Structure 1
Amino acid sequence: MGHHSYLVAGDGQFLYTRNHCDEELAALFNETDRKFIVADGSEVTPGEEWGESEYTFGYYTTANALRQRLNVQGFTSRRALADLAEGIAHWRKTYDSQSQLRERQARGETLFETLARPPREPAELLAAIGEAIRPRRPETSFATFQEYFQYEDEFAETVTDVEELRWFVEERSLIRLIIDQAPADTRVGLDLGGLTGCCVRLDTTRPIAGPTRERQLATLPDNAPLIVLTEGSTDSRLLTEAMHITHPHLVGFVRFIDYTGTKARGSAGALATMVKAFMAAGVANRFVAIADNDAGGHEALAKLKSQKLPMGCKVLHYPELPLLTSYPTVSPGSPAVSLTNVNGVAGSLEMYLGKDVLTIDGTLAPVRLGNFIPAVQRHQGALSKPHKGLVQKAFEEKIKTARRAQHSGTGDWSGVYAIIESIAHAFG
């Protein structure tokens, strides 16, 4: 049809796009689906002698293959049917609201275009689409020309209805509805033959589906939440709760990985392994891995940070904190407490939960230095296990109080605020 591209499903043609290809549809195909097809339906390759045969060019696969591609994108049959019911309801509501405009048009007034007719019921429409996909009856099989023209009009009406649905149903759901009416081995595709004529000279040697898919994937990180990977479930849970207080405007835009119900062990080494797995899987979301600002965290991530990371990946540590530049510290083999800079030595999450919750019995819970780590030339430090539990419990109470008051109150939130800020500005 003219200079259009369109979806082919069996003998049906749907979703016409004038003078260019539909990128939403093109992105569902691979370059291996690129085909030249002659009039008898057989495939040919460029350079073959085609004789006088007409051919069409496009991307073709089977209905089953395209259904599976849509499945993994979340466009299942169930979702498509739900979208159709909602879309038809919206179509019907729009049609009913235009009744007075149609009456004025009937009197000869020039107005904006209105819907020509109300929608069919979903089951009736889907049956009509299925009929349009099946092999077409030859003209000679009809008793009269009137029967043949009526038959053709029914196909045209179905195509028009599908076009109308583009206003009311997400396109990939609409594609799913169409191909669900086709047998699994039905040829489906994006026909680009109409764009190779005199007015629209599409270069048939240039890849189309592959680059289109790459552009589609490139936009995903701009719309999906930023994923934050932490050393373990406690960090993830407490930072999620803290963000609701310090940065409520980021809720829904930043998502800390949820370890609930998993047996994932918490450590900087496990975090490094998870980052490598995300990179190997080609995770499209932008993601930040953030580790403790301690000796063990710096040792575990040193090799990873020296690598060239994907554009959508950042590896961070909890930021330097003024409170930790002069903090009570107990050295190995000595009961004496001295003030020491423990940034990069003992900067686990507990050290960022606030001076108020770190204060136990009137004094700051001391950091105890442990093993010396040659790779980073410093001791690993941490709170004692009992102190660590008390600090976490006190912070959870602080969270509850802040939620009841609907603000952060007068407590010290500077540490967790600095962590969320570093995440928010990880990409510049």
Structure 2
Amino acid sequence: MSSYATFRLGNFEFGQIRNEVDPEVLAVFTDDMLERHTESASDYYPWWRDEYPTDAESSEADHPVAVVRLAGPGPVIAARLDLMGITATEVKALLEESISSLGRRYEDNLAVGGNEYFAQYVRNTVEVASSLTVSQWQEKVCDLDAAEWSKRPFAPGSAGWMLDLIEYWEWRHVLRLLLTVWPEEQVVLDLTDLNDGGWIDDTLADSLASGALAFLRSTASAHTPIVVLTEGRTDAEFIKSALDVLYPDLQDLITFLDYEVRPEGGAGALARSVKAFAAAGIANRVVALFDNDAAARDAMRSLDIDGLPKNIVVCRYPDTELASNYPTLGPPTAAALSGHIEHANVNGLAGSIELYLGTDVLTQEDGALAPVQWRSFIQSLRAYQGEIIGKERVHKLFRLKVENYASSGGFDEAAWHGLRSILDVIISAFLDRALPEQLCEHGGRSEARIRVRQI
């Protein structure tokens, strides 16, 4: 006997998956998104009153239902799909291709004879498809009325007709496209019927999502996390700590290079690693993240960034407002034998990880920010390289901040602003890149059969 998992987004149920959910779909969620509780059948099934219209009939047939479902906020699910390589850019490109191919297919039918009803339908389809844009598709679907789903065949340009364009896409691509229409809605994969039908091993239910992701990682590199390369061990440690604090729902989709494997640090070493990854044909998506200083700019000149494979992105820490007017320690003068403090824009000159850890850890006991000290002069850039004074103290204070956050649960958004800006660079690195091999994946095993019902 068949059982079905049901996909829901907000107030709409968009379709079902028969008997078994593919790991690609389960991995969209995380284990902590699993919800299990018991409801009465009369509350759980929307058709209950139609089947048992009287209170007596309903009461006699009523029974408990073990509800099993995975549910997560739309923005989190969208971010997870983005990091899996299924981005808004990609699904919009797929939609454009679906519209174009439909138009071409029906244009071929214009010359075919037939009854007038069919001929008019073909003409209407070609007319709508020839001018339809992605934004128009989104606007029309946004006004979806589930009741019209029974009115087949759909009139060209109707919401049902629009959704037919993405039928048989792989479910994750359908979901990502629908999340461009309803980005804030809750995403639910209801597994209750599969559980009732014995399709879910109850001993593994709590790890459905992580088990699915582990399976995908072992079989296809396209589903592995984004690999982040940094200049050194400390950079990786601190950015990873910020990821755990700021984006805990994404931490299993971003990984950092193990510096036991590559103990050499610095901008030059990172540039050499990028060249090695490119030469080896590494399939993983890689983000090479340089400091925002003069040494990094000099090292990056050795890279042919435009010639790198599409799965490797090279970037720097972003400019910050703090660094645009930061205290620096200049060389000694007759009036100031120990040097003198001047404020300067150190973006691109001294933007190491320390400048992103927060003013709370950069502030010294005297209340002033730990200054940048100008060091070597890089002749090729005609610029000085700077470095924070007292780095060890800053590192110690940041580690204490991480520990205090973990123990107290307190959170000061401003204190994490710099690290959030770095993480946003990583998260957005591939949003505008639809890799050719990924564009071909939408005909996967978990093809969508879309049937809309209002919940």
Q: TM-score, normalised by structure 1?
A: 0.47
